Amino acid sequence: MPDTTQTTLTAAEKTGGDTAALVSKPEQRKPRSLWGDAWFELRHRPMFWVSATLLVLLLLIAAFPGLFTSADPTKGDLTNHFLSKPELTHFFQPDWFGYDGQGRSIYARVIYGTRASILVGVGVTAAVTLVGGLLGLVAGYFGGLIDSIISRMTDMFFGIPFLLGAMVVLNAFTERKVYVVVLALAFLGWTSMARVTRSSVISAKQADYVTAARALGASTTRMLFRHVLPNAIAPTIVVATIALGGYISAEATLSYLGLGLSEPTISWGIDISQGSKAIRDNPHALMFPAGMLTLTVFAFIMLGDAVRDALDPKLR
């Protein structure tokens, strides 16, 4: 498997390369800002609404799992050991998705597992965007030696396959709470973000209004955060949204290898990896957490896709 994150990023990096065209494109017809234009575009896309609805629902579940089920996800009763297959008509009941090998309600575990996955996805994305974005901004804007150092550093980290690196790093931790997994994935994942931001900053820097601002004597900070960043951040946001789904998927893959989140965190990855052992007789123990995971990743990637299309008129 090519690991999701890296490939997502490289795929989207292309978008980064196109930013020159994207950012410096003269406004057409009605004067609308890039963001206003994008929002207008987004509102008219069914894909956006589908993914947005899904994501709001998922965020709700992650924030308030107790609202969706009254069952205790950690309570196992061996008399229920795989005994109960899913009761697809028992909506929102503990036995809706059946019970797992420990006799725990799969529905409750799927609901309570949402938080960990979303936290990992959002956490890693936030961290890589912050670190990678800043490094990329600095490298792209200042150029010269700083750029060389940051770029070579990026190359070094980029040389290590994402999943392999994550395995080695996480193997070092005995208790892998959410923040540990977030830090480990961010440690290896920031490079793509840095590259994308750097290339879009370089093209934004050359825009006339930036030269104008500089001529007017704007301070470096002002230049960076008022003029360059807002005009260069679009590709970074696109990459980040798409990558988010990839990070969630990566966590599940690591859990499958026994190197993702660890007990007592409830996570889809752990449940999928346990469920995969029962695939023959009790596929429901695998299908429901795997389905939820897929749905979540799907929602994020779809959103990222819609955002990208909206921000990059060339792709329409």
Partner 1 sequence: MRGAKSAKWVAIASVVALGATACGGGGNSGSDDMNKGSADPKGIVTAQLSEPQNPLQPANAKESQGSRVLRTVFSTLVDYEPGTGKLQYINAESVEPNKDSSVWTVKLKKGWKFHDGTPVTAQSYVDSWNWSANVKNNQTNSSWFADIKGYEDVHPEKGDPKSDKMSGLKVVDEHTFTISLTGSVSYFAYKLGYDVWAPLPKSFFKDPKAAGEKPIGNGPYKFVSWDHNKLIKVRKYEDYKGPNAAKNGGIDFKNYTTADAAYSDLRSDNLDWIEQVPTTALTNYKEDLGKRAIDEEYSAVQSIVPAFYTDQFKDIDPKVIQGLSMAIDREQITKTVLHGSRTPADSFVARGVIGHKAGALGDVAKFDPKKAKALIKEGGGVPKNKISIQYNADQDHKPWVDAVCNSIKQSVGVECVGDSKPTFQADLNARDKKQVKSMYRGGWVLDYPVNSNFMRDLYGTKAAGNTSGYSNKEFDELAAKADKAPTLEETVKLYQEAEQLLVKDMPAIPLWFYKVNSGQSTNVYGKIPYGQDGDPIFTDVQVKKK
Partner 2 sequence: MGRYAARRLLQMIPIFIGTTLLIFLMVHILPGDPIRAMWGDKAADPAQVAALRHEFGLDQPVWKQYIDYMLNLFQGDFGKTFGGRQVIDVMSEAFPVTLRLTLFAIAIEIVVGIGLGAWAGLKAGKAPDSGVLIFTLLVISIPVFVLGYLARFVLADKLGWVAPNVQDSENWGQLFLPAFVLAMLSMAYVARLTRTTFAENLRADYMRTALAKGLPRRRIVGVHLLRNSLIPVITFIGTDVGAFIGGAVITEGIFNVQGVGNVLFRAIQTSEGTTIVGVVTILVLVILLINLVIDLLYAVLDPRIRYA
User: Per-residue contact track with partner 1, 74 to 103, x per CB under 8 A?
Assistant: -xxxx--xx------------------xxx
Residue 43 binding: pick among partner 2, partner 1, none (C-beta 5-8 Å cut-off by kind): none
Measured distance CA(174)–CA(262) in Å, rounded:
8
- Cβ of residue 254: shortest distance to partner 1, in angstroms? 10
- Chain positions 159 to 218 lying near partner 1, rule: CB under 8 A, are 170-171, 173-174, 176
Residue 157 binding: pick among partner 1, partner 2, none (C-beta 5-8 Å cut-off by kind): partner 2
- Chain positions 225 to 264 lying near partner 1, rule: CB under 8 A, are 256-259, 262-264
Alpha helices in 101-223 (DSSP H): 106-142, 144-158, 162-171, 178-205, 208-215, 220-222
Which residue type, as a one-letter code, is found at position 145?
A: L
- Are the C-beta atoms of residues 42 and 52 closer than 8 Å to each other? no
- 259-264 LR contacts (CB < 8 Å, sep 24+): 259/166, 259/167, 259/170, 259/171, 259/176, 260/170, 260/176, 260/181, 261/116, 261/120, 261/176, 261/177, 261/178, 261/181, 262/174, 262/175, 262/176, 262/177, 264/74
Question: Taking CB under 8 A as the rule, does residue 168 contact partner 2?
Answer: yes
Residues near partner 1 (CB under 8 A) are: 75-78, 81-82, 101-103, 170-171, 173-174, 176, 256-259, 262-264, 274, 276-281
Residues near partner 2 (CB under 8 A) are: 1-4, 6-8, 10-11, 14, 152-153, 155-157, 159-165, 167-169, 171-172, 174, 245, 249, 252-253, 256-257, 272, 276, 279, 286, 290, 293-295, 297-298, 301-302, 305, 314-315
